[in-house]
A and B are shown apart, each in its own frame.
Chain A
Amino acid sequence: MEYSKLFYVLSAILFILGLKKLSHPKTARNGNMIASIGMLIAISATLIAYNELDFTLIIIGIVVGGLIGGVFATKVEMTQMPQMVAIFNGFGGAASALVAGADFITNMDKLDTGEMINGLDPTFYLVVVILSIFVGTLTFTGSFIAFGKLQGFISGQPIVFPGQQILNALFAISLVSIAVYLSMGGNDLVNFFYAIVILSAVLGITITIPIGGADMPVVISLLNSYSGVAAAATGFVLMNNGLIISGSLVGASGLILTNIMCKGMNRSLANVIFGAVGLIEEGASSGEGQKQMNIKSYSTEEAAMILDAAEKIIVVPGYGLAVAQAQHAVREVADLLESQGKKVLYAIHPVAGRMPGHMNVLLAEANISYDQLKDLDEINPEFEDCDVAIVLGANDVVNPAARHDKSSPIYGMPILDVDKSRTVLINKRTMNPGFAGIQNELFGFDNSIMVFGDAKAMLQQLLKDLKEL
């Protein structure tokens, strides 16, 4: 049993090396392979090192889980990636909580006698068990709410009701009280154990429902981090180095992404979690947002003529592109423009789409070279000498109000400077405001032109018109 720890160290090294190779698209695939070998080693070492394992159950579990995971992984559309990651976060959290729960049930008798458990002081053991079950269960239910929102089973709008924060605070206080009571040597362990499970499950739901559609990148990153924290906590329960190291890596990764997403919106994490932005703003904008704007609606034919005269074109994709599944249509248009000697770049805002890197994956799927995909800092100076910026289903990330309008909910958010281009071609389905619920003054700018319609249909028509010129 002891030598298995050596193999866990080896798999941890492989995880770290694998993640390190994710620092470049060229080596990334290799890195993923290395990490998966690390996992294989950890699983094999466990199967060999531990006696009296129930192999029938393990094989059933691995076959069933492998089939589900395999089908998911091969069938999922790239546009649905956020949902898939959300649901996987949930499974990871649930697995950690179940493992901690199973260990707790097995060792419960020892708690009465005050024996050491897994080499741990009983109080410390209880604390890490509670932590693991709490974070794991919360991740599970929270992820399913996030999945439901992304898939459209639940409204993507923030769901708020009076007293929501107070209710959440009450849940949290009860959880902490139970945890303290139990670790001080309280009785009736089993019932309180169930109380913790139920409270954590409810809390996972109530803290996720008030978060709106455009804030999804933050939620998914945060849940990703939680699933790592749950695994690390379970590692403490079992005193298993493998779980502790891997869990910490994932926890750190999720937290870094959460931080990047918050910066991308110039909001604090607390503001995202408790702010319910979107719902409040919708009411506010309908009153004053009706300022007279001179909207110029163009046909795809006219747009084609403008593009024909352009030399440098920057495409700005947003969530609308994913919804319309327009990534391949974009590439076809770009291919034609490039064949005419024009330069085409893609500007990707950190919070474009519904998860970190969502747009990059979509465009990569459409065979667009990754060195044409530029992030905010790289691309903003490029707009100065850009002839046409094509905004596809993006809204808040190009709203100039973020620069100057202190009353705007997106004030201070770093935006893509599309308005610096000679012409801004904006494609939207309708004039409806974006997810933050605010009108975009960009649409009325002198150099802005609007082409209405579904992104995919519009691009296909544009392609035809470009060819007919």
Chain B
Amino acid sequence: MDINILTVFILAIFVGNEIISKVPPTLHTPLMSGSNAISGIAIVGAIIATKTGGSIGTWFGLIAVIFATVNVVGGFMVTDRMLKMFKRK
């Protein structure tokens, strides 16, 4: 296996740990919905999966595109809606 990809994986966990621990408790709900939207990155795989054409794989791909888009669109929109409300008097 390509060792580079494992390096990327491990470094990403460390970076994630560093930046997420700096998010204040008051923003934990938007953090969850925002990271939810980011996990919708599976949409990239879903788009590629529709390629095979005709087989079950394509249908799996279509359902995956729908689910991942719900995540991406819904996640970013609702996070924005929440963050808009955080104001200081």
Contact = CB atoms under 8 A, between A and B. Distances in A.
- Closest 5 pairs (CB-CB, A-B): A65-B69, A61-B65, A69-B74, A252-B16, A357-B28
Contacts of B60: 98-99, 101-102, 105
Interface of A: 8, 11-12, 15-16, 18-20, 22-26, 28-29, 31-33, 35-36, 39, 42-43, 46-47, 50, 52-54, 57-58, 60-62, 64-66, 68-70, 72-74, 76, 78, 81, 84-85, 88-89, 91-92, 94-96, 98-103, 105-106, 119-121, 124, 220-221, 224, 227-228, 230-232, 234-254, 256-257, 260, 348, 350, 355-358, 360-361, 364-365, 367, 369-371, 373, 375
Nearest to A94: B67
A242 B15 CA distance: 15
Tell me whether chain A's interface is mostly helix, strand or loop, or mixed: helix
Contact of A356 (B9, B28, B55): B28
Nearest to B23: A22
Tell me whether chain B's interface is mostly helix, strand or loop, or mixed: helix
B68 A95 contact: yes
Interface in B35-82: 35-53, 55-58, 60-82
Given A73-B78, A249-B16, A361-B30, A89 B36 contact: yes
Given A68-B74, A121-B1, A32 B65 contact: no
Contacts of B63: 61, 94, 98
Nearest to A252: B16
A365 B85 contact: yes
A106 B52 contact: yes
B44 A46 contact: yes
Contact of B8 (A60, A72, A94, A245): A245
Contacts of B56: 102, 105
A96 B44 CA distance: 10
B87 A106 contact: no
Given A249-B35, A364-B85, A364-B87, A102 B27 contact: no
Contact of B20 (A19, A74, A244): A19
Contacts of A246: 38-39, 41
B42 A99 contact: yes
B47 A53 contact: yes
Nearest to A84: B78
B77 A234 contact: no
A42 to B, nearest CB: 5
A360 B51 contact: no
Contacts of B52: 102, 106
Given A69-B75, A242-B44, A251-B13, 19 more contacts: A18-B34, A23-B23, A36-B37, A65-B70, A68-B69, A69-B69, A78-B82, A84-B33, A92-B36, A99-B64, A100-B45, A120-B1, A235-B45, A248-B12, A250-B38, A252-B17, A253-B20, A256-B20, A364-B87
Residue of B16, B22, B48, B78 with most partner-chain A CB within 10 A: B16
A360 B29 contact: yes
Residue of B24, B42, B43, B46 with most partner-chain A CB within 10 A: B42
B32 A355 contact: yes
A257 B12 contact: no
Contacts of A39: 37-38, 40-41, 43, 72, 76
Contact of A95 (B40, B48, B82): B40
Given A68-B66, A91-B68, A22 B27 contact: yes
A96 B67 CA distance: 9
B53 A52 contact: yes
B41 A42 contact: yes
A375 B83 CA distance: 18
A19 B44 contact: no
B37 A29 contact: no
B39 A227 contact: yes
B5 interface: yes
